[in-house]
Structure 1
């Protein structure tokens, strides 16, 4: 791939499981592995890739829909796993035995270089031990992963400004959530500062951080019970248009799926 940036595929995104694939000239990585090893293997096959070619897994936080397959993939394919210290403490009992040599600390707020990729970590507001997400940099190109946060601080907005692409949370439609069958305590959690971004909130964050470089926004972590792809897509597109962004020619809004990998895209 040389000096031509890198490629990404959102393998799966949603309440049932999340995983993102990133490929550069020197490295092949997953961000989270929130489905079974078998399912992730099948999703990789959809983009003609194999788990034995992976180098590492970066973990955002210890919730099951982000770590379900981490242990089995790490053991089977001898993958390095990166997470911050508190996430490791919370995740360790949940993923089974992973050898000491495969466990790596990636502290929040640091930039780590893996091969030809620079990876920047940043903290978010979510009900987990120490949740952090990532921005990938190579050849003046960047891609941001931002899901599982109740709000997006000014500090984070500054870090992720004007990336070439985003995986941006569009977890729920406010009306569907309020009218839905979840108990009130669960609704309160989702709506809290440590919950998830709604379609509207995710779209407003997008309008605040996108720039001249931005080509794509993937809509991530849609709730199965409290959202629809069509509503999330329309909310993002309409909000961008209202803020004078061309959401048809300049920036593509992309749907994601819990069962189907997005095509590999060169950032």
Structure 2
């Protein structure tokens, strides 16, 4: 199983996960032109995509989903509340398939288990994706780390995890107070220390590859994230660490013990 975070941040989010011939996108907040360029930078043709699965309805996760699905006749998987909230934004889809939060479903070679997260959306989820041998956790857009999130991610060898902001930068930055309160709330986004504390817990179990994602361009900085990682995580010989970028795709990464 392999994956690439094609881009992550407030300007657009999309992640590719593949197992054998099965290629699934998690969300698509990019224009068609931008997404195709990022896929082709990895030598992946869009015609090879199998499906698109959605975490929640915010624009930076779904604004390109409908166009992509119609162009390549992709089935789109979402829970009922997300579908209803995103329907007007995405438009008519060629194939829509509904999943229940907490109930695993299968797309060809991938088994996908959606779990609830804490975000100001209709019914937001993260995913654990597996091919029968390895597992990848995907958890962004959550204001807190819940017991359920810990339970779902603890057995994953690789995890894509939000490290959105530095609390001091939010409080001293340009955001108006209501937006600061949203970001810092339990239904907002995950701060660096909370993200890295969770990662440290997971590193004591199975985690060997960590991609930190959804870094705010205004309220965070890669140096701050890396400093937190050095304080909380074991060395690269135990956990490989990468930071996802807003501007370009990560390389294709292997999920393996």
- TM-score, length-scaled by structure 2: 0.96
- Residue 259 in structure 1 maps to residue 251 in structure 2: no
Tell whether the 8 Å contact from 1:37 to 1:72 is kept in structure 2 after alignment.
yes
* Residue-by-residue CA offset, 1:185-217 (whole Å, 9 max, x unaligned): 100000001000011111111122334432211
Displacement of 1:254 in angstroms is 0.3
Aligned length: 255
Tell whether the 8 Å contact from 2:196 to 2:232 is kept in structure 1 after alignment.
yes
Structure 2 gap segments, 5+ residues each:
none
What residue is the counterpart of 1:188 in the other structure? Answer: 181
Q: What pairs up with 1:215-226 in 2 under 5 angstroms?
A: 215-226=208-219
- Residue 73 in structure 1 maps to residue 68 in structure 2: yes
Displacement of 1:247 in angstroms is 2.5
For the residue of structure 2 that corresponds to 1:144, the secondary structure is strand
CA, structure 1 residues 211+80, in 2 after alignment: closer, same or farther (shift >3 Å)? farther
What residue is the counterpart of 2:28 in the other structure? Answer: 33
The partner residue of 1:89 within 71, 84, 91 is: 84
Structure 1 gap segments, 5+ residues each:
1-5, 241-245
What residue is the counterpart of 1:243 in the other structure? Answer: none
Tell whether the 8 Å contact from 1:62 to 1:90 is kept in structure 2 after alignment.
yes
Root-mean-square deviation (CA, aligned residues, Å) is 1.1
Tell whether the 8 Å contact from 2:203 to 2:239 is kept in structure 1 after alignment.
no
Using the alignment, how far apart are the partners of 2:107 and 2:204 within structure 1?
A: 26
| Segments ≥4 residues shifted beyond 4 Å | none
- TM-score, length-scaled by structure 1: 0.93
CA, structure 1 residues 139+237, in 2 after alignment: closer, same or farther (shift >3 Å)? farther
What residue is the counterpart of 2:46 in the other structure? Answer: 51
What residue is the counterpart of 2:105 in the other structure? Answer: 112
What residue is the counterpart of 2:236 in the other structure? Answer: 248
For the residue of structure 2 that corresponds to 1:118, the secondary structure is strand
Structure 1 range deviating more: 54-63 or 20-29: 20-29
